[in-house]
Structure 1
Amino acid sequence: MEIKDFDLNDVVEMKKSHPCGTNRWKIIRVGMDFRIKCEGCGHSVLMPRREFVKKVKKILEKHEKEA
């Protein structure tokens, strides 16, 4: 399963939950590296694209792009 269409402000679910108990992450940077922010406690994590694609489970909410 390879999902390649990630956009800024999408909310994703990772395979492992965060220690704070939440498993909802908002994408706040897209590129060679992804920065994701925990929706529960606000902690942010920077990880390479390859690692992010491997660890993401599914997209929970797609961000609506403005025209």
Structure 2
Amino acid sequence: MEGKEFALHDVVQMKKPHPCGDNRWRIIRMGMDIRIKCLGCNHSVMIPRKQFEKKMKKILKKAEE
């Protein structure tokens, strides 16, 4: 998976938008599962890492170091 280097607190774009209409998500937990939070409505979702890597489109903003 080249080009899919993501880190905690990165803002990512997923392939499908959230039902609220926003397509920006912040990574708030990493491990075997990834928890992401919608930046439109603050709803959070936990999905397996493999599924997240498949559904992530691109990184919009890298986390501040």
Q: Taking structure 1 as the reference length, what is the TM-score of the superposition?
A: 0.91
CA distance in 1, matches of 2:34, 2:60: 17
CA distance in 1, matches of 2:56, 2:47: 12
CA distance in 2, matches of 1:27, 1:64: 13
Q: Percent identity?
A: 67
Q: How many residues are matched?
A: 64
Which structure 1 residue ranges, 5 or more long, are not aligned?
A: none
Q: Taking structure 2 as the reference length, what is the TM-score of the superposition?
A: 0.93
CA offsets per residue over residues 20-57 of structure 1, 9 Å max, x none?
Answer: 00000000001110000000000000000000000000
List structure 1 segments (4+ residues) > 4 angstroms apart after TM superposition: none
CA distance in 1, matches of 2:10, 2:32: 17
SS of equivalent residue, structure 1 residue 37: strand
